[in-house]
Amino acid sequence: MKLMSASGELAEILQVWRERLSPQMAGMPATASRRAKGLRREELAVLASVSADYIVRLEQGRSSAPSVQVCVSIARALQLSDTEQEHLFRLAGHATGGGRISQIVPASIRRLVERTSERPMAVFDAMWNLLLWNSVWAALPGDPSPVREADRNLLWLHFTGPSDCHLHGPESAETLDASLVADLRRSAGRYPDDPQLQQLVARLNETSTQFRELWLRHEIDEHGPTIRRVVHSEVGTLDLDCDILSTQRHDLRIMIYTAEPGSESESKLALLGTIGTQPAPGSSELSGS
Model confidence pLDDT, tens digit, residues 167-208: 665 566 678 889 999 999 999 988 888 899 999 999 999 999
pLDDT band at 228 (very low <50, low <70, confident <90, very high): confident
Sign of the torsion angle spanned by Cα atoms 201, 204, 205, 209:
negative
Q: Please report which confidence band the pLDDT of residue 285 belongs to, taking 50, 70 and 90 as the band edges.
A: very low
Q: Does 120 have pLDDT greater than 80?
A: yes
Query: Is the distance from CB of 170 to CB of 150 less than 8 angstroms?
Result: no
Q: CA nearest 282: which of 50, 21, 12, 96?
A: 50
- Inform me whether the pLDDT recorded for 96 exceeds 80: no
The Cα–Cα gap between 38 and 48 comes to 15
Residue 4 has pLDDT above 70, yes or no: no
pLDDT the model gives residue 32: 59
8 neighbors 60 (Cβ within 8 angstroms): no
Is residue 165 over pLDDT 70?
no
Domains along the sequence of the chain with CATH: 6-91 (1.10.260.40), 107-276 (3.30.450.180)
For residue 281, name the pLDDT band (cuts at 50, 70, 90).
very low
Nearest residue to 76 (alpha-carbon basis) of 9, 139, 27, 146: 27
**Which residue would you say has higher pLDDT here, 120 or 225?**
120
Q: Which residues pair with 97 in a beta bridge?
A: 100
Pairing status of strand 253-258 against strand 236-246: antiparallel
pLDDT value at residue 72:
87
Instruction: Give the pTM.
Output: 0.74
pLDDT (0 to 100) of residue 167: 65
- Measured over all CA atoms, what is the biggest interatomic distance in the chain, rounded to whole angstroms? 67
* 7 vs 10, residue with greater confidence: 10
pLDDT of residue 54: 92
Residue 121: per-residue pLDDT:
95
Section 47-58 average pLDDT: 91
Q: What is the CA radius of gyration of the chain?
A: 20
The rounded mean pLDDT for the chain is: 84
* Residues 124, 126, 128: CA angle, nearest 5 degrees: 45
65 versus 270: the higher-pLDDT residue is 270
The pLDDT value recorded for residue 6 is: 64
Residue 169 confidence (pLDDT) = 59
Bigger pLDDT: 229 vs 255: 255
Q: What proportions of the chain, in percent to the nearest 5, are helix, strand and coil? A: 45, 15, 40
* Cβ-contact 215, 221 below 8 angstroms: no
Whole-angstrom Cα distance, residue 186 to residue 201? 12
Per DSSP, 133 falls in state: E
Q: State the DSSP H helix or E strand holding residue 77, giving kind and residue range, or none if neither.
A: helix 68-78
Query: What pLDDT score does 85 carry?
Result: 86
Under the banding of pLDDT at 50, 70 and 90, the label for residue 235 is confident
Provide the percentage of residues in the chain whose pLDDT is more than 90.
Answer: 37
More confident residue, 128 or 99: 128
SS3 232: strand
